[in-house]
Amino acid sequence: MTIKDYLEYGILGFLVFLSIIVLALIMERIWTFRKIDYLSYCDRKKLEIDLTKNLTLIATIGTNAPYIGLLGTVGGIMLTFIEIGQNNALNTGDIMIGLALALKATALGLIVAIPAIVGYNLLVRKSEVLLMLWDMEKNRNDFSI
């Protein structure tokens, strides 16, 4: 395997791995939000901790996936330029193929990031709604005493 193969498969493999993690975390949070009995909590902070579990990891992956893809693209472009310099290649077809292959890392980074950030925002909103419902119910119970 060449350095280009290690770079390409390493970055693309890592991004695929991150996408699997993000999908698993989002599905776990959705399942938790559907099953949670928020009214059984006596302490708001404990409820908030349980609702926001793993949201930071989802956001971290979503915000950093484009940078990981960009790292793969920059590395691929650098390797393409090294090949051009070493082989004195002026064949534009080979250059374009090398650059196109390098750009797929950025595309995959965006493919990972966009659903991760959308999922994160939806999950944060759902946790805020559940916390507001908990607050409303607890305030109603406080006034009824």
Q: Each residue of 85-141: pLDDT tens digit? A: 887 766 777 778 778 878 899 999 999 999 999 999 999 999 999 999 999 988 887
Decide: 66 and 109 in contact? Cβ < 8 Å: yes
Whether 119 is in a domain gets the answer: yes
In this structure, what DSSP letter does residue 42 have?
S
Integer Rg of the chain from CA: 23
Number of domain units in the chain: 1
Tokens describing residue 107? 């595309």
Q: pTM score, two decimals?
A: 0.85
Whether 143 is in a domain gets the answer: no
Cα 105 off chain centre by: 14
Question: 29 lies in which domain range?
Answer: 3-137
> What ranges in 36-91 are assigned the alpha helix state H?
44-51, 55-87
Neighbours of 85 (CB within 10 A): 9
Whether 34 is in a domain gets the answer: yes
Whether 118 is in a domain gets the answer: yes
Whether 13 is in a domain gets the answer: yes
Whether 142 is in a domain gets the answer: no
Tokens describing residue 99? 């650059």
d(C-alpha 129, C-alpha 122), whole Å: 11
Whether 95 is in a domain gets the answer: yes
pLDDT in tens, 56-96: 999 999 999 999 999 989 988 888 888 888 877 667 777 78
Whether 88 is in a domain gets the answer: yes
